[in-house]
Structure 1
Amino acid sequence: MASMQHEGLLLLFRNRPTLAPELLRDALGLQLPAWSEARVESAELTEVVPTEYRADLVVLLLEGKPVFAIVVEVQLSRDEDKRKTWPLYLTSLRSRVGCPTALLVVAPDAAVARWCAQPIDLGHPGFVLQPLVAGPGAIPVITDEQRARRDPELAVLSAMAHGKEEVGSVIAKAVMAAVGGLDAERLNLYVDLTLSALSEAARRTWEALMQSGNYEYQTEFVRKHVAQLEQRRQEGRQEGRQEGRQEGRQEGRQEGELAALFEVLDARGIKVGAAARKQILACTDSSQLKLWLRRAVTVESVQELFEPGPTRKPAARKAGKHGRSVKVLKPRSKR
Structure 2
Amino acid sequence: MVGSSHEALHRIFQKDPALLTRALQQVLHVPFPEPREIAALNVDLTEIEPVERRVDTLLRAETDDGTYLLVVESQGKADERKRGSWPYYLSYLYEKYRCEPVLIVITQNTATARWAARPIHLGFPGWDSLTVRPLVLGPDNVPVITDEHQAERDVPLAVLSAMTHGRGPKAAPILESLATALKTIDPDSAAVFVQFVDSCLADPQAKQMWRDLMTAIQYFWRHPLAEQVREEGREQGIEEGRIAAQRDMILRALECRAVPVPDDVRDRVNACEDPSQLDTWFQRAVHATSAADLFVEE
- Quickly say closer, same or farther: Cα 1:208–1:149, change in 2 above 3 A: closer
Counterpart in the other structure of 1:168: 171
Q: Distance in 2 between matches of 1:120 and 1:193?
A: 30
TM-score, normalized by length of structure 1?
A: 0.46
- Return the offset for 1:120: 1.4
Q: Residue 180 of structure 1 contacts residue 221 of structure 1 at CA under 8 Å; is this kept in 2? A: no
Residue matched to 1:200: 204
Alignment partner of 1:62 is 2:62: yes
Residues 93/117 of structure 1: CA separation in 2 closer, same or farther (3 Å cut): same
- CA RMSD after TM alignment: 3.7
Give CA deviations for 1:31-75 in whole Å, capped at 9, x if unaligned. xxxxxxxxxxxxxxxx9x965222111222213784322211111
Identify if the C-alpha distance between structure 1 residues 143 and 229 changes in structure 2 by more than 3 Å, giving closer, same or farther: farther
Partner of 2:31: none
1:102-142 Cα deviation digits (max 9, x unpaired): 21011112222222223212116233222221111111111
Letter of the 1:119 partner, please give it: P
CA contact (8 A) 1:117 1:130 kept: yes
Q: How far 1:229 moved relative to its partner?
A: 5.8
Whether 1:140 aligns to 2:116 is no
Distance of aligned partners of 1:208 and 1:101 in 2 relative to their CA distance in 1, 3 Å threshold: closer
Return the alpha-carbon distance in structure 1 between the equivalents of residues 189 and 80 of structure 2: 33
Q: Tell me if structure 1 keeps the 8 A contact 2:145–2:174.
A: yes
Whole-angstrom distance in 2 between the partners of 1:232 and 1:193:
20
Instruction: Figure out how many residues of one structure are paired with residues of the other and give that number.
Output: 186
Give the TM-score normalised by structure 2.
0.51
- TM-fit CA distance, 1:155: 1.5
Residue of 210, 218, 221 corresponding to 2:219: 221
Change (3 A) 1:208 1:97: closer
Write the deviation string for residues 284-330 of structure 1: whole angstroms up to 9, x where unpaired.
xxxxxxxxxxxxxxxxxxxxxxxxxxxxxxxxxxxxxxxxxxxxxxx
Indicate the residue corresponding to 2:90 in structure 1: 90
**Following the alignment from structure 2 to structure 1, what is the Cα–Cα distance between the partners of residues 219 and 120?**
47
Contact 1:180/1:222, CA 8 A, preserved across alignment: no
Q: Distance in 2 between matches of 1:194 and 1:220?
A: 17
Q: Give, in whole Å, the separation in 2 of the partners of 1:138 and 1:104.
A: 13
CA apart distance, 1:159:
0.9
Q: 1:123 is paired with a residue of what secondary structure? A: strand
CA distance in 2, matches of 1:151, 1:63: 22
1:209-238 per-position Cα deviation (integer Å, ceiling 9, x unaligned): 789xxxxx5x53348879766434456899
Q: Can you give the 5+ residue segments of structure 1 that lack an aligned partner in the other structure? A: 1-46, 212-216, 239-335
- Secondary structure of residue in 1 paired with 2:196: helix
Matched, 1:129 2:132: yes
Structure number with the bigger relative contact order (C-alpha 8 A, sep ≥ 6) is 1
Task: Report the CA distance between 1:189 and its aligned residue.
Answer: 3.2
Corresponding position of 2:268: none
Give % identity.
Answer: 35
**Secondary structure in 2 aligned to 1:122?**
strand
- Tell me: CA distance 1:51–1:183, structure 2 relative to 1, closer, same or farther (3 Å): farther
CA positional deviation for 1:158? 0.9
CA distance in 2, matches of 1:161, 1:153: 12
Identify the residue that residue 306 of structure 1 maps to in structure 2. Answer: none
- How far apart are the structure 2 equivalents of 1:236 and 1:147? 38
**Cα 1:233/1:195, change in 2 over 3 Å:** farther
Tell me the residue number matched to 1:158.
161
Deviates further, 192-201 or 80-89: 192-201
Q: Find the aligned partners of 1:155 and 1:102 in 2 and give their Cα distance.
A: 24
Q: Structure 1 residue 182: deviation in Å? A: 4.5
